Structure 1
């Protein structure tokens, strides 16, 4: 899926991603159905499987991305390296590695470090994140070439983990609402 559409300022890639299927889950993470991304994020939100990736460099810094202005949920906010939804029945690590290639043009070995659930409504769109989130960690050299997809990412930067945790507490509206939970899961691992 590629290309940028001109209607209403939302890229064709983002629009087509909204029609992809996701796996609905119960509170314990057991699959219990499917919906499109768009359907799962309509209020009040439907709990579905997601993943959040954190890449660390050899110095322990984490790679953050600022979500593209065209994103339908929490655009322009800083978030973890990459996140997304596996398709129904798709292994989480496989889906996460695919999204790393699509969003940043990089390969990395990934390991799941924990899971948590959260719900957050985007104040601009009214759409709801209601996700059973698998948190994955990987390593990447700080000087590795990155190729951010502009339909997904406006900017990337490396940052100290503790500094990001403090910044999220001080200015939560500058960050994706799931980032605090992702970082806490990473630290607890």
Structure 2
């Protein structure tokens, strides 16, 4: 991984997440090419979810609320290690992560860009205070899941496209795994 956390490339994949090559990140988003990504959801011991507001200078989604961390692994990166490093870089958090599921989504976002990602969703638990990187993050909050669901239902456009799609899938998965315990 680049020591300065530059993520200027994406790994192009097919619908089975088989790597097909790489492309400049902005070109992939302009053309809507399917590429590998990860999203990290963090919960605390009270069952609250950590969400953050993307910095206003982001190439898309600036000012929108989303999950604790999301990014693109770089060619040659281990997916989980990349997720752990990015979580530390963006939110100043170190915790164990477990992969929960993957899904594919596609949608137009602002600036004429298209998100088309094979998104690997990780979850972790953290009970400290995030020390976020202001280049990446404008604000954060811990929020009760029911309050979050109400907010998303009432104001979906204040959240990123991937968050709106991943959140219900994650909650279904959490409920399913909890019922098996």
- For normalisation by structure 1, the TM-score amounts to 0.85
Partner residue in 1 for 2:45: 58
The question of whether the paired residues in 2 share the 8 Å contact of 1:68 and 1:152 is answered with yes
Q: Does 1:111 align with 2:95?
A: no
2:125 corresponds to which of 124, 139, 147 = 139
The question of whether the paired residues in 2 share the 8 Å contact of 1:115 and 1:132 is answered with yes
Structure 1: tracts of 5 or more residues without a match = 3-12
Query: Could you tell me how far apart the structure 2 residues matched to 1:178 and 1:163 are?
Result: 19
Q: Equivalences for 1:71-150 in 2 at 5 Å? A: 71-123=58-110, 125-141=111-127, 144-150=128-134
Query: Could you tell me how far apart the structure 2 residues matched to 1:120 and 1:104 are?
Result: 26
How far 1:145 sits from its partner (Å)?
Answer: 2.8
Q: Does 1:40 align with 2:28?
A: yes
Query: Could you tell me how far apart the structure 2 residues matched to 1:38 and 1:106 are?
Result: 27
How far 1:163 sits from its partner (Å)?
Answer: 1.9
Describe the SS at the equivalent of 1:33: strand
Query: Could you tell me how far apart the structure 2 residues matched to 1:78 and 1:34 are?
Result: 28
Measured on the aligned residues, the alpha-carbon RMSD in Å equals: 1.5
Post-superposition CA distance 1:113-171 (Å, at most 9, x none)? 11111112223x11111111011000000xx1321111110000001122212221221
The question of whether the paired residues in 2 share the 8 Å contact of 1:68 and 1:76 is answered with yes
Q: Does 1:26 align with 2:10?
A: no
The question of whether the paired residues in 2 share the 8 Å contact of 1:23 and 1:89 is answered with no
Q: Does 1:160 align with 2:144?
A: yes
Post-superposition CA distance 1:29-67 (Å, at most 9, x none)? 111111121111113x11000000000000110000000
Query: Could you tell me how far apart the structure 1 residues matched to 2:146 and 2:166 are?
Result: 13
Structure 2: tracts of 5 or more residues without a match = 174-181
The question of whether the paired residues in 2 share the 8 Å contact of 1:51 and 1:83 is answered with yes
Moved over 2 A (4+): none
Query: Could you tell me how far apart the structure 1 residues matched to 2:155 and 2:20 are?
Result: 36
Describe the SS at the equivalent of 2:129: coil
